[in-house]
Chains A and B, each alone.
Chain A
């Protein structure tokens, strides 16, 4: 059922049957370390290149979630997946052997929100019995794609974020499970003219604020409707900007807000500057910590809002600004 301007409330709510998270060593040493399904010590995941390593991440997450959800692989009708690399190559090579029809997505670091949104629409419409939504990022492949070669010596500014090495996957089904997707709010491209590619939290905060405020308006609710409002990778600067932007619009989400980028690393000792980022940041935090809190009935209903910065090396060098996007997904306990 359409809600307001940019939201959907699902009549038939897709169920989350299982979730998996595979991460690298740095994430494993972080505060959420014990909650991840797999922590790999080899940053190359037994592969030759960073890109292949990221593909391996997705492959492992996909295989693991099939096991955990106890669903037969052939019964999964669609994959909704994407990553940060040019032309989505981590996804293409990682999911090659899955043999499942794929919708390849690009939403920068908001991809987990985009894939869950599209997967839920297809599920709710009854066009599939099971779908899988997944995404990944790898620190080294992202550095290569967006910044410098890994061994190049440079100092990261205090507002820079650290790309998470990890992949998170979710299987949606029609029945069973412990959580369900009640609705979505789809974000639009928002550009407040931020140009500093090292300060992506600042670039994405307006998009997150816009989507969250839209969600409140469309569903006619207040922030207290949610036990948690979880953004993807705003980091320290972005979190502050988000809270202030929403306060200006009359919404105080200070009590509910949580940012995956601020949860995943131990900021004081892990050299992550302003926090974690990347598609994997929101995905693995959802698939480990967030869903566990819902399963344990600590949280009843959360708004999951992964955030993406829409830039490339080329657009940045050509002097373009950095627009942001954020997709909100309402996840709640099954009664």
Chain B
């Protein structure tokens, strides 16, 4: 049959002939659309601030609005085409996270509230949540130890 050598040659060959998207063009699209998302966020933030809302609360409201918009677009079948164009531009901001939760919820609704939505809602965002919490725990422990040993000043 095929020796390992032949397989390796084939895999190298495939790497060579497989086309890829233009990374510079993708980065430009992501930069422009990501910038628009951030601008939208800033406009919201300023608007909330102008209503005499505290800075911290205004930030929370801005996030909620961005999440809401992203979920609304997901439900209207619009997020996916935008993401195809913009890539990281809409996936990296909080809009991407919202979409990654809303999309499975829509898809698995037909399999029921518990085994459908309940089980599957975090299929994509699960790793982000798990390792996000885990790494913040880890940093917390590290911070505590550094304080204990007096390397870092306590509060």
Binding site for B on A (CB under 8 A): 48-49, 144, 148-159, 192-194, 199, 202, 206, 236-237, 240-241, 244, 271, 274
Contact = CB atoms under 8 A, between A and B. Distances in A.
Given A158-B20, A193-B7, A244-B13, 15 more contacts: A49-B110, A148-B103, A148-B124, A149-B124, A150-B107, A153-B83, A158-B19, A159-B19, A192-B2, A192-B6, A193-B8, A194-B10, A237-B19, A241-B14, A271-B84
A158 B20 CA distance: 5
Given A150-B80, A151-B80, A237 B104 contact: no
A45 B1 CA distance: 46
B90 A192 contact: no
User: Which A-B residue pairs are the 9 nearest by beta carbons?
Assistant: A153-B83, A149-B107, A152-B103, A151-B103, A149-B103, A158-B19, A202-B14, A193-B7, A192-B10
B17 interface: yes
Contact of B77 (A151, A154, A156, A237): A151
Q: Which of B80, B90, B106, B108 has the most CB of A within 10 A?
A: B80
A148 B6 CA distance: 33
B10 A48 contact: no
A156 to B, nearest CB: 7
25 contacts: A149-B103, A150-B80, A150-B107, A151-B99, A152-B80, A152-B100, A152-B104, A152-B124, A153-B79, A154-B83, A154-B84, A155-B26, A155-B84, A156-B84, A157-B21, A159-B19, A192-B7, A192-B10, A192-B11, A206-B10, A236-B19, A237-B17, A241-B13, A241-B17, A244-B13
Interface in B121-136: 123-124
B34 interface: no
B149 interface: no
A151 B107 contact: yes
A194 B107 contact: no
A157 B20 contact: yes
Given A48-B110, A159-B19, A193-B7, A153 B99 contact: yes
B10 A153 contact: no
Nearest to A149: B107
B19 A155 contact: no
B87 to A, nearest CB: 5
B18 interface: yes
A194 B11 contact: yes
Q: Which of B2, B14, B83, B91 has the most CB of A within 10 A?
A: B14
Interface in B89-127: 90-91, 96, 99-100, 102-104, 106-108, 110, 123-124
Interface in B3-56: 6-8, 10-11, 13-14, 17-21, 26
A279 B41 CA distance: 45
A149 B104 contact: yes
B82 interface: yes
Contacts of A194: 10-11, 14
A148 B87 CA distance: 15
Interface in B47-86: 74-75, 77, 79-80, 82-84
Contact of B80 (A49, A144, A153, A202): A153
A51 B95 CA distance: 29
Contacts of B6: 192
Contacts of A153: 74, 79-80, 82-84, 90-91, 96, 99, 103
A261 to B, nearest CB: 15
Contacts of B7: 192-193
B8 to A, nearest CB: 8
A156 B85 CA distance: 10
Contacts of A193: 7-8, 10-11
Given A148-B124, A150-B107, A151-B99, A240 B17 contact: yes
A158 B83 CA distance: 15
Contacts of B124: 148-149, 152
A159 B11 contact: no
